[in-house]
Every structure is written in structure tokens, then in C-alpha cells.
Amino acid sequence: MNGRTYVPRDERDYQESGVASWYGPGFAGKRTANGEIFDPNELSAAHRTLPLPSYVEVTNRDNGRSVVVRVNDRGPFARDRIIDLSRRAAQLLGFDARGTAPVLVRRVYPKGAPVASAPDASVSLPRETPLYVQIGAFADAVRADSLARSLGDIGPALLQQGPDGLTRVRLGPFAGQMDAQRALSAVHAAGYTEARLLPDG
């Protein structure tokens, strides 16, 4: 890309900080690098080296918002960017108007999601599975975003769009049961009594 060669790498513990941008205009309906049809309203991304498909959690360092996206394309073409997101992902992260944002990108493994290659048996898994507090799922993305903002003081807020089109509001991840339970209690105290703990994935 742009005169430089990037070799795909299956980095199981990939994590990187840098600048994210988004793309969409002029690409809708065209094929991505793995042959899918690009839809700017889906939660997807382009990355230079991660396997296609794979999944990453992208956190906007300016506002703490996070979203999980499916990597199905190659890019970005600008050398100072580490990931290109779909328009929808940029909207949920709150930087669609500005165009770029400082982000933390972390590879994740949602349950039931297809991956490009089987896990390496030699990879050590974490001793304790990260936990999330799921507060609810909403058809109205604006309402979900407002809720995530209001609960951001309890823990890092995550907006995740499911295959059913609903936007799920979660807090986390929390490394231990005690921290997760404390956050859950705070969410219940705020009036969201249907919130529950969920494992990573």
C-alpha cells in the first residue's frame, strides 16, 4: 500500500495505540479485501496486517467510548493511521464529524464469531476471564449512547451492535469478579435493575 509492503500476521494478543479514521463515501457496495460487500452502516474496519476476518475492540481515548468491529478489509492508506473504521463505527465512537481520533485497538474473540485461523494450542489464556456489566439492548442508538455517557463514571462504557440490529450498552472489561460486582451494584443503584454480568465474548 502506497509503496510499502505489509505482511499479514496472526497476532493473538494484538494491541496498539494510534490514530483511527473512517471511510465510506465512494466505497459502499464495493468488495472488501476478503470479498464481502462493504456497507458503511455495519460495524467493520480495515487493518493492514490482522487476519481477515478478525475482531477488535476500538476505544476512543478522548471520550472513553468503545465498539467491537469486524476486520474485513485492508488499510488504512495514510501512514499515520492504524485502523480505518466504517462510518457507523465512527459515529458510535463519536468522531465521525471530526474524521480522526486517538484510539486503543485490542484484538478480541467474540463467541461464535468466525476467525481466519484456528487458535494456536501453545497460546496461554488468561487465568481469569474478563467480565462485563450488560445494562441493556436498545433499538435507538442515540438512547444507548446517552445511557453509556451517563454511566461512564462507573466504568468504561462499550457500545456493541449485535446481529439483531440492537445496540448493547456494557461497562468493562473488569479483570476480577470483585470489581465487576462492585460496578454491577452501582448500576443497580442507578436504577438499571435488569443489568447483569457477562463474560468476555
On whether both 135 and 103 belong to a single domain, the answer is no
On whether both 97 and 137 belong to a single domain, the answer is no
Residue 4 lies in a domain: no
On whether both 103 and 135 belong to a single domain, the answer is no
Q: Which of 47, 73, 107 is the last residue of a domain?
A: 107
On whether both 103 and 21 belong to a single domain, the answer is yes
CATH number, domain with residue 187: 3.30.70.1070
On whether both 19 and 101 belong to a single domain, the answer is yes
What are the angstrom distances between the C-alpha of 18 and each of 62, 79, 80?
A: 12, 11, 8
Tell me the C-alpha distance between 137 and 102, whole Å.
Answer: 27
Q: What is the CA radius of gyration of the chain?
A: 17
On whether both 21 and 103 belong to a single domain, the answer is yes
On whether both 148 and 82 belong to a single domain, the answer is no
Residues 6+ apart with CB under 8 A from 121: none
Residue 168 lies in a domain: yes
- The reported pLDDT for the residue numbered 116 is 52
Q: Of the candidates 82, 40, 86, 76, which has an alpha carbon nearest to the alpha carbon of residue 61? A: 82
Residue 125 lies in a domain: no
Specify the number of domains making up the chain.
2
Q: Which of 73, 107, 141 is the last residue of a domain?
A: 107
CATH number, domain with residue 89: 2.40.40.10
Residue 182 lies in a domain: yes
Range of the domain at 186: 131-199
Mean pLDDT by 10 residues, the chain (201 residues): 53 93 85 88 92 92 91 86 93 92 92 51 45 86 84 78 83 74 83 82 58
Q: Which of 107, 122, 152 is the last residue of a domain?
A: 107
- The reported pLDDT for the residue numbered 28 is 87
Scanning 9-158, the segments in alpha helix (DSSP H) are 87-93, 141-150
On whether both 137 and 171 belong to a single domain, the answer is yes
- The reported pLDDT for the residue numbered 120 is 35
- The reported pLDDT for the residue numbered 196 is 87
On whether both 44 and 87 belong to a single domain, the answer is yes
On whether both 101 and 136 belong to a single domain, the answer is no
Residue 124 lies in a domain: no
